[in-house]
């Protein structure tokens, strides 16, 4: 049972815990990166909802430009 107390003493040090949590964080980051790369390659791109995907209050200023671009888009579609 001596090695168990030794193991407990090793695990309960703050250095070990910090490094352990750092490793878990790195694994989480790596999972996020790989998941994002896979999603980027295999999932379809998001649907084109509009000219610019901003909430409507932000579109109050360049309204004319947006409408002009919508008309151009419709013309190009025909």
Partner 1 sequence: MPGSNGGPRRPLLPMHSAGPYSTYRLFEWCMATMMVLIAFTLAMPGDTMERNALKPIAHMGFSEPNMALIFGCVGSVRVMALFLNGYINNVRIGPKGAYARAAGAAVGCAIMGQFATALVYDAFTVAHAPSFVIPVFGTLAGFEAISVYIAVLDGVSRKSRIGKALAALEEVRG
CA distance 4 to 12: 12
Q: Would you say 8 or 63 has its CB closer to partner 1?
A: 63
To partner 1, the closest distance from the beta carbon of 6 in angstroms equals 19
User: Binding mask 7-26 vs partner 1 (x if CB under 8 A, - otherwise)?
Assistant: -------xx-xx--xx-xxx
Question: What are the residues whose beta carbons fall under 8 Å from the beta carbon of 70, sequence distance 6 or more?
Answer: 51
Within 1-78, residue ranges assigned H as helices are 2-11, 14-42, 63-77
Summarize as ranges the residues that interact with partner 1 (CB under 8 A): 14-15, 17-18, 21-22, 24-26, 28-29, 32-33, 35-37, 39-40, 52-55, 57-58, 60-64, 67
């Amino acid at each position: 049972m001596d090695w168990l107390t030794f193991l407990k003493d090793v695990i309960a040090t703050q250095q070990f815990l910090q490094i352990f949590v750092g490793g878990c964080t790195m694994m989480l980051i790596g999972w996020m990166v790989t998941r994002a790369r896979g999603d980027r390659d295999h999932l379809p791109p998001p649907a084109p909802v509009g000219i610019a995907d901003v909430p409507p209050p932000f579109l109050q200023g360049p309204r004319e430009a947006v409408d002009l671009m919508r008309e151009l888009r419709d013309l190009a579609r025909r």
